[in-house]
Structure 1
Amino acid sequence: MLILDRSSPQIFISNEQQDVSIDLQSAQRLVVLFLELQKVSTDQVYVYFLDDTALAQLHDEQFSDPSLTDTITLPIDKPGIASFPHVLGEAFVSPKAAMRFLEQYTEDQLYHEISRYVVHSLLHMLGYDDQTDEDKRIMQEQEDVSLSFLAEHQALLRPAV
């Protein structure tokens, strides 16, 4: 687990899967720059990269649905709500889901897709939803804007070296 210094929000990143190599510092950078782009202030954000078994088990525990999914978001403190520490939420991401979704891919395409899953969870923490077609359209637009910004700043996920 890697934690940023105390002058920044604490970004807790944990890689508990072995399907895809994840550079933890790139995950931190992604979260920090996403928060800056969205102008969100928080004390803590948690991101866990899990294997399919662990994510399906969490999906069952949280939503009574044992099916595979790509990401689960557990928002904790709403943005702008006073609490200390302010914990924006927890993101649980399956890198292997990106492999299944893409089927054939380059390394860059794979890490872009996993980055999309992290951004998707972060947007849920900010209150975005994807229940209706209009909600999905808005969320997709926000994902695309965020991913473009992150790519411009070389802040997408990358493999560990």
Structure 2
Amino acid sequence: MAIQFFEEDIKFSLKEKNKHKKWLKTIAENEGFIITDLNYIFCSDEYLYKINFDYLNHNTYTDIITFDNSEEKNFIEGDIFISIERIKENAEKTKNQTETEILRVMSHGLLHLMGYKDKSKEDKKQMSKLEDKSISLFH
């Protein structure tokens, strides 16, 4: 199992990396998945905007983009890009702590890699419940 954390275009260091790795592994295992290669790349708004535009042809800012590189069922391989600037802004809007919002978005990307969607109202509701459950596992 390899979970790694990187930064691009910003200064950011995730505290308690080993605790986060164990937490992510638990989320995956609870859903019947094994993480084989997962990279979290924390970046700036502009960096993520460029990825969103270049790879997905979306002309918008976002807090997260997930690329699924998995080749086998129930084995997770992927890259998850997270805008720290957008996370901080979202935390302010929702009156959450930045750390909680980081957990929400980190779990959100992992849930996408496990097949959960968030396009319909019902899917968003389920995703939100799973994010809340995931956050509770961290504490």
Matched positions, count: 138
Which contiguous aligned blocks of 4+ residues in structure 1 show a shift greater than 3 angstroms? 17-21
Q: 2:2: which partner in 1? A: 10
Report the Cα offset of residue 12 of structure 1: 1.9
> Rg bigger for which structure?
1
Q: Which runs of 5+ in 1 are unaligned?
A: 1-8, 152-161
SS in 1 for 2:115: coil
Aligned amino acid, residue 115 of structure 1: L
**Counterpart residue number, 2:118:** 130
**Aligned partners of 1:72, 1:14: CA distance in 2, in Å?**
15
Q: Secondary structure at the match of 2:61?
A: coil
| % same residue | 25
Instruction: Supply the RMSD in Å over aligned alpha carbons.
Output: 2.4
Higher relative contact order (CA 8 A, sep 6+): 1
Gaps of 5+ in 2: none
* 8 Å Cα contact 1:34-1:150 kept in structure 2: no
**Partner AA of 2:37 in structure 1:** Q
Q: Find the counterpart in structure 2 of residue 146 from structure 1.
A: 134
TM-score when normalising by structure 2: 0.85
Cα contact 1:78–1:126 (8 A) shared by 2: no
| Length-normalised TM-score, structure 1 | 0.74
| Structure ranking higher in strand proportion | 2
Query: For the residues of structure 2 that align with 1:14 and 1:147, how far apart are their CA atoms?
Result: 21
Separation in structure 2 between the aligned mates of residue 122 and residue 87 of structure 1, nearest angstrom: 9
1:16 alignment partner AA: E
1:96-131 deviation per Cα after TM superposition (whole angstroms, max 9, x unaligned)? 11211232798x811110110110000000010011
* Cα distance, 1:101–1:120 mapped onto 2, change above 3 Å: same
Partner of 2:15: 23
Given the alignment, which residue of 49, 60, 63 partners 2:42?
A: 49
- Greater CA drift, 93-102 or 12-21: 12-21
Choose which of 58, 62, 69 in structure 2 pairs with 1:69: 62
